[in-house]
Structure 1
Amino acid sequence: MRNNMIERITDTMNALHFPCEWRIQWFEREQKIEIILMLEVQAPENTKLTDKYQSVNSSDHFVFEDVVLLFHPNLGVLKDDNYLATIAFDDEKGVSGGLIDAICKTMRLVIGEAVVELEEFLMSDAYDHFEIKWNNQNYLSTLQTLKDTSRFDTSIYSYPSELPEGVVKNNEVE
């Protein structure tokens, strides 16, 4: 069995115990993988919030989503503002385990900070908006630290040619 990116991302995210729900969406023809991070929100009663699409919540309980996109550069032009981060994989064979580790560790840190910031946003009038922010410097530092400490996994994880049965059964990939 070949190692593929989706399996490695899933295993890494499970091992990091993310403080939010998440799922992976695979777009085979477009050669892209979306990692969707979902923060469950319980807003104070009768709080009305407007998202970037000008939709207003109809309930005090809703989910805030953001997406990290892994894509092959042949995808073409992307609207970066639709994603928390966009990361190209240009190796025809796939990506290294070290790259996946750095992406997942950075997402874990970003989501941990976002959970705290979201709570502060909901409880204080001092903030006029909330957004999850990708920390690219942290991502690059994590990559470098993994390399400097000889913990960078050079194993290549291929872009999947088909979905692994276990991942489909767990409904982690749509």
Structure 2
Amino acid sequence: MAKETLLTYLDEQIEKKLADFDVAIDWDTRNHTIEVIVRLYAENTNHMAIDDREGVRSEEEIIEFEDAILLYDDQKAVFDEDDYLAVIPFAGKKGMQQKVIDALIMYLPEILVKGQDDLLDFLVSDEESIFELHFSPDYFQALQADMTTAKQERFLPYPSY
């Protein structure tokens, strides 16, 4: 059996605990990053014209919203933090503590359920001009602090390629 890594553990947890959501992983070996990509969909019954972040206008019947959380090597990765919902460092080949992944997997459904509600409200409201997901670093840290088992304290190594 192959050694469990940050990537294999993350993938396993997403499949087990986030099956009801559209979540994917994109591993960039050259940049030493792992993106956790989330997508929300909503029916645009009013055919509201919506501009995305790049200024592309759409009046599609189904709106797809995508965002990502970046896990990155704190010594090697290069990225623009503004492009992500959240950025979470890991310690090179040593990887990341399991409790960080566990907290992320626990927090993502809350973000996505609230985000889905907010997206639906956005599509029917004339008052809201911007839609975005929200990530609370303080809440995320509190979730991690509650995870203190020996297993959760272990490091999941960054995968070899």
Structure-2-length-normalised TM-score: 0.89
Q: Who is 2:159 aligned against?
A: 160
Matches within 5 A, 1:104-115: 104-115=105-116
Q: Who is 2:54 aligned against?
A: 53
Over the matched positions of the two proteins, sequence identity in percent amounts to 22
SS class of match (1:67): strand
1:3: how far off? 0.4
The CA RMSD over aligned residues, in Å, is 1.8
2:27 aligned with 1:17, yes or no?
no
Matches within 5 A, 1:6-155: 6-17=7-18, 19-147=20-148, 150=149, 153-155=152-154
1:28: how far off? 0.8
SS class of match (1:107): helix
Asked if the contact 1:94/1:157 (under 8 Å) is kept, the reply is: yes
Q: Who is 1:2 aligned against?
A: 3
Aligned residue identity for 2:157: S
Deviates more, 1:151-160 or 1:59-68: 151-160
1:41: how far off? 2.3
SS class of match (2:128): coil
Aligned length: 160
SS class of match (1:13): helix
Structure-1-length-normalised TM-score: 0.83
Structure 2, unmatched stretches of 5+, are none
1:77: how far off? 4.8
Q: Sort the Cα spacing of 1:124 and 1:60 in 2 relative to 1 into closer, same or farther, 3 A.
A: same
